[in-house]
Amino acid sequence: MRILLLAPPGAGKGTQADRISVHFGIPHISTGDLFRRHVAERTPLGLEVEEYLRRGDLVPDDIVLGIVEEAVADAVARTGGYLLDGFPRTLAQARRGYRIAVRLGATVHGVLHFDVREPELLRRLLERATTEGRDDDTEATIRHRLDVYKTETEPLLDYYRGRGVLVTVSGEQPVDDVTAESIAALEAIRQKAGA
Ligand code: AMP
């Protein structure tokens, strides 16, 4: 099963992705986590992307596509599937990602979208800022990341809706309900696709 997770910052992607990937027995690939690990380990790639993450800006596509291709190829070789969380973030990334997936024989079955209204996202992110202390969880950066999502990433919803692979689940329900609804919708897609 191959899934993309498309949701704004603060929608609960990380928690849900962990649960859904366990359910389907597929690796959870989070581009944000991969970048944060590189930054923490002070790798050359980490040093290159550090400023983008701190500002809440998108990392340039060539860098993103490089780590995505490596991680997806590895996941496909091991399990045939993946849950990609945080990619694509732009239409250009979606198009390039699709070409890579075709080459690997591993295009996606479904795109899962969590819908959460902006004031709720802001509230959650500000709360996370006090508990987790992520470098990019300052109020100015949070607002910027929400703007970037709206202008760069939200147009992807129409793109995937047009391809008939989009599933939208309200991310404002209790966490367990979001998980259950997501898994039910993805199971329906899996059956249809025979994956
Ligand atoms: P996330 O954990 O998904 O919120 O990502 C944290 C940060 O990593 C983002 O604010 C970006 O700076 C960077 N990032 C993650 N995924 C991507 C992507 N697909 N394209 C560009 N930048 C990304």
Instruction: Using the mean position of ligand 1's atoms as its centre, give its distance from the Cα of residue 162 in Å.
Output: 24
Query: Each residue of 82-122: pLDDT tens digit?
Result: 999 999 999 999 999 999 999 999 999 999 999 999 999 99
Contact call for residues 114 and 12 (beta carbons, < 8 A): yes
Which residues participate in catalysis according to the annotation? 13, 89, 128, 134, 145
Say what the pTM is. Answer: 0.94
Instruction: Using the mean position of ligand 1's atoms as its centre, give its distance from the Cα of residue 158 in Å.
Output: 21
**Ligand 1 pocket residue status of 53, Cβ below 6 Å:** yes
Average pLDDT, the chain: 96
Residue 132 pLDDT > 90, yes or no? no
Rounded Cα gap, residues 161 and 126, in angstroms: 31
